[in-house]
A and B are shown apart, each in its own frame.
Chain A
Amino acid sequence: MGGNAANKPELLKNGKRVDGRRVDELRPIKIVARVLNDADGSAYVEWGKNKILAGVYGPSECIPRHDQSLYRAIVKCRYNMAPFSGAEEHGRSGPNRRSKELSKVIREAFENVIIAESFPKTQIEVFIEVLQSDGGTRCAAVTAAAVALADAGIPMKDMICACAVGKIEGEVVVDLGKEEDNFGESDMPIAFSPRTGDVLLFQMDGLLTKEELARGIELARGASEKIRAIQFEAIKKVYEEPREERFLIIK
């Protein structure tokens, strides 16, 4: 959405998308857990050309103290984009209106699954840095943050993940790429708790019929099963192949 109609490429041709994917096919996803030294938990996600780093601290003393709850841990979240992350001009450093909104909806998704009652008067901080963006950063961010939280040993009711669905050339497809996001007719990022099937994060823009909405949710649910398997593999690998040094290696 928002792309200049004059430059719009043909997004769907003979059932194939601009990057050759089928309508229900995800971009390649790679997840590595435990890539940072000081953070209590961390994860690096490559999702298409998206490169996203998540770090988790806590449960720790709640600062400032007036933020704390007597009943549960407070979850804090910061989603931030590197000024060099986009394919276009140099961005501005620090939070903007978009990143603040995304920080809020991502925090709320995790507030549901983190067993916060176990840690009263503490805070759990989730920091997400988008090093390179390629459409669908918030879904990759949720996916990365969930692995980082698991790596930090934070008890959760479920390993959550997110995936966007959208509409291009009148067809509902999974995991919009940057061009599809720019020139498509609708974009709908959804985070699920796969265990219960509940929706934890839901945003949508563009136009969809009720049938298309149902088809989109079905597609996103199918995709999140695949993403969840990659998340589990990443966590397993931390223990199966322990590494002395925690370095971010980007290939």
Chain B
Amino acid sequence: MSGVRLAVRQLRYEQLAFWRNPPAAFFTFAFPLIFLVIFNLVFGNETIEVDGGSTKASTFFVAGIAALSVVNGCFTGLAMALSILRDEGVLKRVRGTPLPPWAYLAGRIGFNTLLTLLLIAIVVAVGALFYDVDVPTSTMPAFLVTVVVGAATFAALAFAVSGFVPNADAAPAVVNGVVLPLLFISDVFIRADSAPGWLNGVAAFFPVVHLSSALQVAFNPFETGSGFEPGALLVMAVWGVFGVVVALRFFSWEPRR
């Protein structure tokens, strides 16, 4: 069997196992929706200034929660899953078979990417149905490309960070400790307009704000162009390459002793 077919086959087993754990699956899907509902309850009637005019706050939230879903699904979720699989010896066992390592990892990344796309589709649909969100059509390709680039970047970073997580028990603390502060300063939940300049500078160094701002642009109803943000995509790609390099050096298939 070719490597690609093996990867696709692996992806199918990953999703089979995922749905067998209903509480985990339920909250994976509920999490972004809970955020969407809360934000709209609190700020739903406000309008927000974007390039070209003002729009409903709910439109802003949908793009932000799409960014959150990418980070959550491809970084937080993947890094934790890798730590658990490593501690349980699943990764070591797979390494002892002729399955090419990249095919296994591609299956894992592919599954998390598809899961993220599904999550975002649900968030957008709920936003459109219940919160009157304008779903753009001309910039939809840019929106999807940004999601996929973001998914690849954050998956690579998940592999990199898992190399520094000592064990599965420490994974939530380490991973959330890295990612939650970044989410708060990166225009995901709130617009950091009033934040000090240096804080925005810190945020601009990391990839999260580039993902959320690119998604905002692609979701802006006043956007007249294609909605692509080459600069933001480039920053994400650089971080993705960095993640791959670090992962190649530090990623471990075996539990730490």
Q: Do A and B share a complex?
A: no
Give A residues with C-beta under 8 Å from B.
Answer: none
